Structure 1
Amino acid sequence: MTKKEKPKKNSSQKKTYKGIVDVTRTGMAYVTVEGLASDILVKQKNIGSALDGDEVLVDVIGNGKSRGRTEGYITDVLKRKKTEFTGTIQLSKNFAFLLPDKGAFMPDIYIPENSLKGAKDGDKAVVKIVAWGEKTRKPVGEILEILDASDTNDLAMKEILVESGFPLNFPDEVLEELATIEESISASVIKDRKDFRKILTFTIDPVDAKDFDDAISIRKLKSGLYEVGVHIADVSHYVEPSTALDKEAERRATSVYLPDRVLPMLPEKISNELCSLRPHEDKLTFSAVFQMDEKGAVKQHWIGRTVIHSAHRFTYEEVQEVIEKGEGPYDQEVLLLNTMAQTLRKKRFKDGAINFSSQEVRFQLDATGKPIGIMVKESKEAHQLIEEFMLLANRTVAEYVSKQKAANKQPVPFPYRVHDTPDEEKMHVFAVFANKFGYKFDMSNPESIARSFNQLLTAVKGKPEQHVLETLGIRTMAKAIYTTENVGHYGLGFEHYCHFTSPIRRYPDVLVHRILAQCLAGDIKVDKQLEKRCKHSSDMERKAMDAERAGNKYKQVEYMQQFIGDTFEGVVSGVAHFGFWVETVDTKCEGLVSIHNMDEVFRHSEEDYALIGQQTGRKIRIGDKVTIRVVAASLAKRQLDYDLVENEGNTAKRSSVMTGKPLSSYKPDRSSKPKDRSKARKKKK
């Protein structure tokens, strides 16, 4: 921005704020500043080089009022939300532009001839912004990758990743550094670790997993107790602070899991080879080792660096089979660990943890990535076995570090995983709603709220209102985040908690390992940027979740395209003033029913979580069972549109949710034709 473009100002009145810019499709922008009652308006000519979602500095001049709003101009971009974009190449003689696919008022990106990498006119590409032209006021970019537009699935998944701010490839300096890492484990490294290589150790993971973060060992001690080791890949041995590898891992902060691929936080040489706890290989680990009785009571523990040698790689399905049949590989050890885990689980809920459970879907894909079936993932005892021992390790490490003191006698700054108590207002609305079904909530304190939740979750099992109350109960909960301010983990009922068990795929776990190593060595180095790193990790976790939801939604839409005109049984999963969302019972695919296509005028009642007909008083409420017809499936918008089927008899396919099996046998009803659509659909907010 040049001086002549800046609004006239009195320097004595200038106020500068830091905030996040929201650029609208018209080119107008608003900067949200924490602590300010209203956003700061920024006109298009005063946005400068800021893009939607960037962290910026904004100056407010004088009273800064424009039509009753505070007005300002952006002076600096502190942090880009994203630097890589997908779009279509528009080629000229000696240069090109990328016309971005998405982005509110996103300018075209200028690409000089030496950065084209052979791109042709009309190609789809990923471009990285490397500079900002002072004269043109246009972003300048270079092509990172030319995309194969004929592979629609690959193109869609890559667009989702880039759209969410995740780079598709690792920088050259990272790969160069990776090539210098010593792959063999030297005797000098092993001598400083506790050796578990002769103790029975195995991993339990999903069938398609390649990055095995954790392993469990077990042996009986002479005392009659059992030694159970929770062994976690020692990523911090290979990824040292301030290296190119470390900086890239911190920037990504997390791996991203889409239906057909994983975008790893660390290069595959580390995530799938050096650090993956593969069977029959020596591996470096960081471990929490417990002496326990056969009921799972912990008598003492030890934390430190180790070396292991996994004897077996289990899938969850294989372990579940051992648990159910009572026989199989290492059956005695598996059954004992399961008994311990179930005891830990019962104690956790007794001590105040909230027993929320949710169903997840998994897509069965063909060789081209096209969904040919949908499976429902259910948490069984095999999953709970791993979950309880990981929770135990995470809690134990957090408790240990919480007792340590830095050189200034202050607590050691540490990336805790915290979960705050529910919002009072949300909780009150939910309690009133639950009371309509006869469920009472004791709101006197957080502990009594947790007890009330568990009583409700037990009592509601198998009842018509189960889905609605479970769904809305989860929505009253705060979001878990990373922070140095330890307020405990309300949902788990833990005073101290951290993430220690997945350093291959989560950067906070790497930070935990480093600080833990310093505490054990008595050489604590206070990281003054730790809270900033925690916030970044929380932000990237949310972006990864958004990307995963977008990937799942794309596959849902792709799967449901074959069922246009067919009817399904569904459950109302959300309501808004313009319509309601329905999740199909069989396929778990959510779509919007617009009230514009219904025969009655409805009003939105927030306290009832419902739409209420103004003529009849009829309620459409979250959790209601309905029949819908699929009328549109837009891959471009990742959006499903449904119509409510009324007074046509029971034409929908009966619910038959399968657990862990593809829904390949489903044959929808094709007896009715879809309705004509004349009105535009509104997007889910």
Structure 2
Amino acid sequence: MGIKETVLGFMKEQAYRPMDLQELSEVFDIKRDEYKAFKKCIKTMEKEGLVIRNKKDKFGVPDRMGLVTGKLQVHSKGFGFLIPDEEGRADVFIPANNMNGALNGDRVIAKILKEDVAGKKCEGEIREVIERANKSFVGVYEDSKNFGFVVPEDKRIQNDVFISRKDTNGATTGDLVIVEITKWADQRRNPEGKIVEILGKKGEKGLDILTIIKKFGLPEEFPDKVIKFAEGIDVEIKEKDIAGRRDLRNIKMVTIDGEDAKDLDDAVSIEKLPDGNYKLGVHIADVTHYVKEQNPLDKEALKRATSVYLIDRVIPMLPKKLSNGICSLNPQVDRLALSCNMVINSEGKVIDHEIYESVIKTTERMTYTDVTKILRDNDKDLIERYSNLHEDFKNMEELCNILHNKRIKRGAIDFDFEESKIILDEKGKPIDIKPYEREIANRIIEEFMLVCNETVAEYMFWTKLPFVYRIHEDPDSEKLEKFKEFLYNLGYPVRWPLEIHPRNLQNVLEEFKDKKEETVVSTLLLRSMMQARYSPECTGHFGLAAKYYCHFTSPIRRYPDLQIHRIIKEHLHGGIDEGRATKLVTIVDYAAKQSSEMERVAQEAEREVDDLKKAEYMMDRIGEEFDGIISSVTSFGIFVELPNTIEGLVHISDLDDDYYIYDEDHLCLIGERKKNMYKLGDEVKVRCEKVNIPNREIYFKLVSDEEQEEETPKPESIDKNGLEEFADTNVECKSEEEVF
């Protein structure tokens, strides 16, 4: 046990009372020549928020001193929540007037003012900022007589940044700039800064997505050191690289991806055995052959932790020479892989498996579209073109259905959400937003990756080696209780056991299948669930009803996959002794935390870009009418979702036929006089009234029955070409592996 763990253990003892450095050094019998290193260790622990110093310069652990350390998440309205470092501890509500200069994403120490009582969130006040999340921000510069100021684009940052005349860097009013903070805010003063870059005038072409990239601190380019290192990698596989690997170059296997995918990191092969079982091969690019621990590529990959997909561009985790080149499983070329062979019976059970290093040569680069046409549409031309693979595709479909049925039978939650594909023109303007199709080919790859991830996780769990698992904790009990109340108010009373199983929730989704409330029920259920994350502990995956789960199948674009490939390969070569295992504990712990955090950043950035382009799309459709469904009800209005997933607000002030009261228990608005009711799942007709692109907000207005009657043409005058393009649209969500 290291000195940090020893000190923390001592401070957590019931009898401990805060001590100063001298007292602590005497307790641990620190010699004079060791005192400097001991003092440095305590200061590092203080910086990390592991220990706290009180006003008398005495140290203790935060929890014993009524304090909590964690990450701050701020809402655009000014309040926030501290997400504690300590797992299992409830979030702490921070009112806007208790922020004390802390900003979104900062690691902070908070003092608890009100404890969690009767289900109410505990409340706190930020006492200290341990580490700033961002030292620079994107904003719009405004000039004034004696100074300037920058209004941050991120609405979660409440304070403008003051700029002195000498620090404007030539910026003029309306410039979109990057401001670096030179003096942080406190209770009385706004932050001060200097302008380090002028991006252009607000509203100029191409600045919209760039602004979001800058706002989230996403890297635009790879450092020269990383590019130079990548350039030194061979573009072809050498004989020395193949030595010791199993040669699978004569095995039929394919990649199946979207048409525009360039980073092909998984290939699949299948064989139906004489006994009726299936031999499934999942072959994943061996990225770790090139990205060795602590080399420049690895350090940069860990920093990024994930690739970010922003509609018309990708911010990759690895340089293109690897992601689109030597690591991508392009057809008919030799590639290094880490393979997992599984023998699966007719009930979907993996009865045997093997994981090993291989060299492969994929037979074809298939697309979801073509495989779906072969299997669903029996496209004769494509069947003839891929006649050597047709039988394999049929077997893949059979196995896919077997695996899916097994998952559902054990209780995995199969969400059925509509996702959208946003299509831009060459100028970056959205010209179409249409449902994202998840057909049989998508589901084949989804099921194969899921079963592979489970198999690898279970195999590595029993080695008892440090590892990065993908976990999904049980739902929030308070939110789940509200969900249960909502179902009761819908006329669907449910009785769940004290220990909820995902099967209970899957049964609810089945009950509402193909009903108008289906989307609403699915959405509310998802909101009651925890977010999946990475962890060194294998605590299971609730949503998939899986005891063991990890992410193994995408090492080109996800760091956890890359890290566990490295551990698996070391284990296969028998190279993990006790010393290495101890070192890996720290490595996987940091990799799990960093990857979880960067995954959230990527999700937020991707969501904001989508919202921006949806707002732009609707800007050209102001005045047009659409059929939609009420997807959310709040005290200030109702949100209506169109079949193409665009969502807009009907503000309560626009419900002008009555005074409406918000019924939180039934999630509806009720007219006080006429008793009209607007509730979740109701079908409505709306008109697009207004769009606020900077805030990504779309405003609808309900079209009344009278207006609809006036506008309805006589039957003989209906123009068939003028029917709503969004009618009868229904699609499923992206894969469970992406959701979870």
Q: TM-score, normalised by structure 1?
A: 0.81
Q: Would you say 1:595 and 2:652 are equivalent positions? A: yes
Structure 1: 5+ residue runs without aligned partners? 1-7, 62-68, 406-411, 661-685
SS at match of 2:249: coil
Q: What amino acid maps onto 1:444 in structure 2?
A: P
CA contact (8 A) 1:628 1:643 kept: yes
Question: Structure 1 residue 235 and structure 2 residue 293: aligned?
Answer: no
1:467 aligned partner: 519
1:616 match: 674
Structure 1 residue 91: deviation in Å?
A: 11
Mapped partners of 1:522, 1:616: distance in 2: 75
SS at match of 2:394: helix
Decide which moves more: 251-260 or 81-90: 81-90
Which of 348, 356, 363 is matched with 2:415 structurally?
A: 356
Q: Which residue pairs with 1:312 in the alignment?
A: 364
CA distance in 1, matches of 2:652, 2:366: 49
Which position in structure 2 is the counterpart of 1:270? 322
Residue in 2 that maps onto 1:392: 451
The 5-angstrom pairing of residues 211-360 of structure 1 reads 211-219=263-271, 226-292=278-344, 298-326=350-378, 328=383, 329=386, 330-360=389-419
Contact 2:279/2:344 (8 A) holds in 1: yes
Given candidates 525, 529, 535, the residue that maps to 1:477 is 529
CA-to-partner distance for each residue in 1:333-353, whole Å, 9 max, x for gaps? 111111111111111111221
Q: Give the conservation status (yes or no) of the 8 Å contact 1:416–1:484.
A: yes
Structure 1 segment 186-585 matched on structure 2, within 5 A: 186-219=238-271, 226-292=278-344, 298-326=350-378, 328=383, 329=386, 330-405=389-464, 412-444=465-497, 449-524=501-576, 525=581, 526-585=584-643
Shift of 1:633: 1.0
SS in 1 for 2:206: helix
In structure 2, relative to structure 1, the CA distance for the partners of 1:538 and 1:31 (3 Å cut) is closer
The answer to whether the 8 A contact 1:205-1:315 is kept is yes
The answer as to whether partners of 1:23 and 1:104 remain within 8 angstroms in 2 is: no
Distance in 2 (CA, whole Å) between partners of 1:37 and 1:261 is 35
Select between 612-621 and 352-361 the one with higher mean Cα deviation. 612-621
- Separation (CA, whole Å) in 1 of partners of 2:403 and 2:72: 46
State the Cα distance separating 1:516 from its structure 2 match.
1.7
- Partner letter of residue 425 of structure 2? D
What are the within-5 Å matches in structure 2 for residues 34-183 of structure 1?
A: 47=101, 51-56=103-108, 74=128, 77-78=130-131, 80-87=132-139, 100-102=152-154, 103-105=157-159, 107=161, 127=178, 129=180, 138-139=192-193, 142-143=196-197, 147=199, 152=204, 154-183=206-235
Query: Partner of 1:281: helix, strand, or coil?
Result: coil
Pick the structure with more helix per residue: 2
Contact 1:107/1:139 (CA < 8 Å) preserved in 2?
Answer: yes
1:162 is displaced (CA, Å) by 2.1
8 Å contact from structure 2 (residues 649, 699) kept in 1: yes
2:272–2:278 Cα contact (<8 Å) kept: yes
Contact 2:535 2:589 in 1 (8 A): yes
Of 485-494 and 120-129, the range deviating more from structure 2: 120-129
The one-letter code of the counterpart of 1:338 is E
* Per-residue deviation, residues 623-657 of structure 1 (Å, max 9, x unmatched): 11111111111211111011122232255965514
Amino acid across the alignment from 2:71:
I
Tell me which amino acid in the other structure corresponds to 2:330. Answer: R
Aligned partner (choices 696, 700, 705) of residue 642 of structure 1:
700
Q: Which amino acid aligns with 1:367?
A: E
**Displacement after TM superposition at 1:293 (Å):** 5.5
Of 492-501 and 351-360, deviating more is 351-360
- Secondary structure, aligned partner of 2:417: coil
Change (3 A) 1:298 1:109: farther
Answer yes or no: is the 8 Å Cα contact 1:203–1:216 preserved in 2: yes
Deviation for aligned residue 1:603: 2.7
Alignment of 1:15-30 (within 5 A): 18-21=69-72
**Alpha carbons of structure 1 residues 55 and 454: separation in structure 2 relative to 1, 3 Å:** closer
Bigger Cα displacement from structure 2, 488-497 vs 15-24 = 15-24
Question: What does residue 672 of structure 1 align with?
Answer: none
- In structure 1, what residue type is equivalent to 2:159? F
How many angstroms apart in 2 are the aligned matches of 1:85 and 1:607?
A: 40
- Is the deviation greater in 464-473 or in 272-281? 464-473
Give distance in 1, aligned partners of 2:688 and 2:696: 14
- Contact 2:181–2:192 (CA<8 Å) still a contact in 1? no
CA contact (8 A) 1:109 1:129 kept: no
Question: What do residues 262-297 of structure 1 show as CA deviations (whole Å, max 9, x unaligned)?
Answer: 221222222111211111211111111123467765
Computed over aligned residues only, the root mean square deviation of the Cα atoms, in angstroms, reads 3.9
Task: Tell me the secondary structure at the aligned position of residue 618 of structure 2.
Answer: helix
Distance 1:359 1:44, change over 3 A: closer
Residue type of the alignment partner of 2:727 = S
- Paired AA for residue 656 in structure 1: A
Q: By how many angstroms is 1:121 displaced?
A: 5.5
**For 1:464-499, what per-residue CA distance to the aligned partner results, in whole angstroms no more than 9, with x for missing partners?**
322322222322222211112222111111100001
Pick closer, same or farther for the CA change 1:32–1:184 going to 2, 3 Å. Answer: closer
CA–CA distance in structure 2, aligned partners of residues 151 and 612 of structure 1: 40
Q: Which amino acid aligns with 2:669?
A: L
- Asked if the contact 1:296/1:339 (under 8 Å) is kept, the reply is no
1:239/1:645 CA distance change after superposition, 3 Å: same
Equivalent pairs: percent with the same residue? 36
Q: Which residue of 2 aligns with 1:65?
A: none
3-state SS, counterpart of residue 178 of structure 1? helix
Q: Is the 8 A contact 2:650 2:699 kept in 1?
A: yes
1:567–1:629 contact (8 Å) kept in structure 2: yes
The alpha-carbon deviation at position 357 of structure 1 amounts to: 1.6
Give, in whole Å, the separation in 2 of the partners of 1:604 and 1:265.
46
Displacement of 1:10: 4.7
